[in-house]
Structure formats: C-alpha cells, structure tokens
Structure 1
Amino acid sequence: MSGKKVKIIVGIEFNSRANGISRTKDWIDYRMEIFNKFTLQSLKKQTNQDFLVLVRYAEKTTDLIKDALSHYNPLPNNIKFIENKKYESIIEKSIKGYEYLYLVRLDCDDVYHKTFINQLHEYKPRKSTRALINQKGYVYDAVNHRLGNWYYVSPPFYTLIYKTKDYLAGERIPIPRGHCTVIKNPHEVIHKTNYAVIVHGKNTLNAFNNHRIGKVITDKKEIQNILKNFI
C-alpha cells in the first residue's frame, strides 16, 4: 500500500468489558501500575510515533481511572484513556482523510517490539488481506525474572485492516470468538518476534508455560538485552 494514507490505531481494553473485581479501586490501581511499567513504556519506545492509542474503560469507573492516572506523569498526546462509549466515535473522527485504518490489538499489560509500528507503516499487504498476525513472541515472568519464547497460531497480537470508507459504513471484520478466529479471515503472518506477554501476578507457572516453546532464559543480562527492545 505504498503511498496510501494509513491511520494506525492501537485499541486497548482496560476494564471496559469485565465486571466485578476489574472495576474496584485495588484492581484499577494495580493494573495502572502494570500499564505504566510495561505497556506504556513499549508505546513510548516505538521508533515511529505516528499512531494513536485508545485505552477504553468502563464509564462507571471514570473517577477511579482519573485518580489512578493522577499518580503518574501526563500521557503523551497520542495515548488517551477514554470511556468505552466514546471509542467508536473517536475512531471515526480520527480516520477521516485516511484511506486505510490499521486497528492494532494490545492488552493493557503486554508489549510490542519497539519497531512494530514502523513495521506496519512499511508493510505492503496484499489487497485481499484483512489481518496481520504476529505468531512469534516472548513471555516474561516479571515475578520470577525469567523469559521464554512463545508461539501462538492465532494470538491476541494482530492488526485488522480496513478501508476507511468501509469502516465508516459499518463494516467489521468477523472475529466471533476473539483472537482465535482472526486467522479464519484472509491474513498474512509477520514472521518477526514482535511481542512479549508479561506475566506479573499469581499463577505465573501456568501462564508462563501456556504457549512457551524451547528453553527458559534465566540469565539476567540476556533477559535485559532482549527486553530493552520492548520496554
């Protein structure tokens, strides 16, 4: 899509879907700490800052979100916490004047490689492609300080490609069961090791091993050298 105008938007759900514990002050404060320590650093470290981040949260927790944010430095202009109900309207306003929308998925406690946004700007997908999938990544156990390689056929690290006119007309790429069904759409795989899952709480053993392949890396210097490309 050389010469095409592409708007890259990273969509992050903070607590917009879940109920219960994710809407309590303790959960929000803890998750905000994780977001600032990992995800935010990854976004700020992107070598190409031509993108918009929309972190959406449940309207009922607006005061708690604002209070949690107040304990940290102001966010960069291209990273915004927004009420869930405003998500679609902000996207629609942001993509006007662009030919394509690249809608990137990221969880509020995970990270992308520092070159990932630039990779998207430079990537030239086939005309029929609806999704770009990152199958290879790392998993970092921040509790026990160990690192492993991850492989997932249809992981939660993907980018949906829309023509702006189609998105504004209401078209949505079907992913009925979330990230597991992204791969059922016309897609291309980006073969770089582009993400890191951050394991930061209880039940670290299961989460760490879910999709891990190969050896576990425990050497602190090696871990640091790898993670500096992400956070």
Structure 2
Amino acid sequence: MAKKVIIVGIEFNNRSTRGGPYKVGLTQEWIEYRMNVFMKYTMNSLKKQTNQQFTALIRYASVTEELIQKTLEKHEPLPDNIRFVPEEQYIEAQKELAGDAKWLYLVRLDCDDTYKKTLIQQLHEWKPKEGTRALVNQLGYIYDSLRHRISPVKKTSPPFYTWIYKSVDYFNGKRYKIKGGHPAVVKHKHEILTSKGRRNYLVVVHQRNTLNQRLLKRKNFISNRKRVDAILKKFI
C-alpha cells in the first residue's frame, strides 16, 4: 500500500459557469490565451519537476469541453501524469489516483503560476509532525513577464500550500475550512515548507491577470537579464 499520493490541483475555467467576472473563461479567446500561458509556465514547471511521482489534475467547465480539447490539440500532447478533467469528475479522478494510499497530499497551484522544480521531491521527503494539516510556502518570487524582471517576496499565507488528509477522511467528505480563502490556511496546524531560505513559488504577472497587476508596484525588482534567467531556470 502506498503511503502517500501527491495530487496537484489546478483550476482552469471550472468557476466560469458561476457568472460574474468568471464567465469570461467560457470564451474561446480566454481559453486559448490562458492555455498558452499555462503551457509556457505552469506546464513547464510540472514537466521539469525532478520527481515525477505526482499527478496534476486541471479542472475545467464541462460546457467548454469542445473548446478545451480543440485548444489542447494545438499543443504538444500532455504527459500521462498531467490531465485535464471536467469539474464534475474531479473528486472521482482524485479517488482513482489515491487508490489505497493512507495519505493524500493536495497541492494547490494556479494555472498561470509555477513551483520550483524540486517541490515534489521536497514533499516526498518531508516528514510532517502528527496533526499537521498544511505545508505552507512563504518564500517565492514575482515575475513580471512583460518586462522580464523579478522580485523576491515573502507572504505569511500565500496561495501556495499543500493540504494533508487521511485519504479515508477526505473521501468521506472531510474538508478543512478556510474562511476568506488562502490567508486563513495558517490558522490550521501547519509547517513552513520553505525552510533554509528556499523560494518555492513563482507568481507570473502577464498581460491579462489583472488581479496581480498591483504586484508590479513593488520596488525591489531585479532587472539584470542573467540574474533573472538564472532564477527562472529553477522553475521553468
């Protein structure tokens, strides 16, 4: 019996059917643009993980099935451990992957961001204390892809974390509650995964992720091309 199974959960446009600002994710233009960003950054980060013992499940709205599949056909075939799944099949896909494993590690990642290439290996090696619910990455970078510059960042509870569940509990419906989103993750018993100065995540600011444009107001950007390229190489 496997001791743990690591699943990277990525939302693509699965919230689009809720309407409001999310509905733009139902359009061909949005899907094609975001897929290009995903392939360039997130996909490369996943493919270059030094340990490939994980599966990434990318959730999409089933009403965009045809658009998703046609867009995927324009890119290189997906590796076996990276799968696009309709929202309605997400839990079943997790259950299939978990098998008889005792522990389920659920890694959160956005579809336009990346993790350091050694993240999955670090998760396999990590030995959490009893009762730990979350492994939190506090140190990372912000990458301004439009100007090719980068800035180190530290956040107490950013959206780069891993939940740890007993598989049997998770598939019986147990969920850790986080009122207000990712800032509340550290209210649960957690451990900081970014030990010894390890910067594990890279937020990619691109033309259309408007919520992250405010990050470009930071003043400590590194613009030297060689230094920026050297940092990016650790992620993509």
Q: TM-score range by the shorter chain?
A: over 0.9
Q: Cα offset for 1:175? A: 1.7
**Segments of 4+ in structure 1 off by > 6 A?**
none
- Superposed CA deviations along residues 191-210 of structure 1, whole A, max 9, x for unmatched, are 2210000001155752334x
Match of 1:224 among 219, 226, 229: 229
Provide the C-alpha distance between the structure 2 equivalents of 1:23 and 1:205, rounded to a whole number of angstroms: 22
Q: Which residue is equivalent to 1:201?
A: 207
Structure 1, unmatched stretches of 5+, are none
Contiguous gaps of at least 5 residues in structure 2: 17-21
Distance in 2 between residues matched to 1:205 and 1:144, nearest whole Å: 13
Query: Are 1:215 and 2:220 matched, yes or no?
Result: yes
> Aligned ranges for residues 183-198 of structure 1 at < 5 Å?
183-191=186-194, 192-198=198-204
> Quick check: 17-26 or 107-116, which moved more?
17-26
Query: What is the rounded CA distance, in whole Å, between the counterparts of 1:45 and 1:6 in structure 2?
Result: 21
2:81 to 57, 78, 82: 78
Question: Could you tell me the percent identity over the aligned residues?
Answer: 48
Q: What CA distance in whole angstroms lies between the structure 1 residues aligned with 2:37 and 2:180?
A: 26
- The correspondence of residues 161-200 of structure 1 with structure 2, limited to 5 A, is 161-191=164-194, 192-200=198-206
Cα pair 2:2 2:100 within 8 Å, conserved: no
Residue number in structure 1 paired with 2:51: 48
- CA displacement 1:113-161 (0-9 Å, x = unmatched): 0000000000011011000000110010111111001111111000000
The one of 99, 102, 105 aligned to 2:102 = 99
Taking the aligned partners of 1:190 and 1:25, their CA distance within structure 2 comes to 37
Q: Distance in 2 between matches of 1:83 and 1:137?
A: 30
- Counterpart in the other structure of 2:19: none
1:23 maps to 2:26: yes
Tell me if 1:68 matches 2:65.
Answer: no
Aligned to 1:57: 60
Equivalenced residue count is 226
Match of 1:12 in 2: 10
Which amino acid in the other structure matches residue 76 of structure 1? P
Q: Distance in 2 between matches of 1:155 and 1:4?
A: 29
The aligned amino acid for 2:229 is Q
Q: Distance in 1 between matches of 2:31 and 2:179?
A: 28
Alignment root-mean-square deviation, CA: 1.5
What corresponds to 1:160 in structure 2? 163
- Matched residue of 1:21: which SS? helix
Residue-by-residue CA offset, 1:160-192 (whole Å, 9 max, x unaligned): 000111112211111232211111111011122
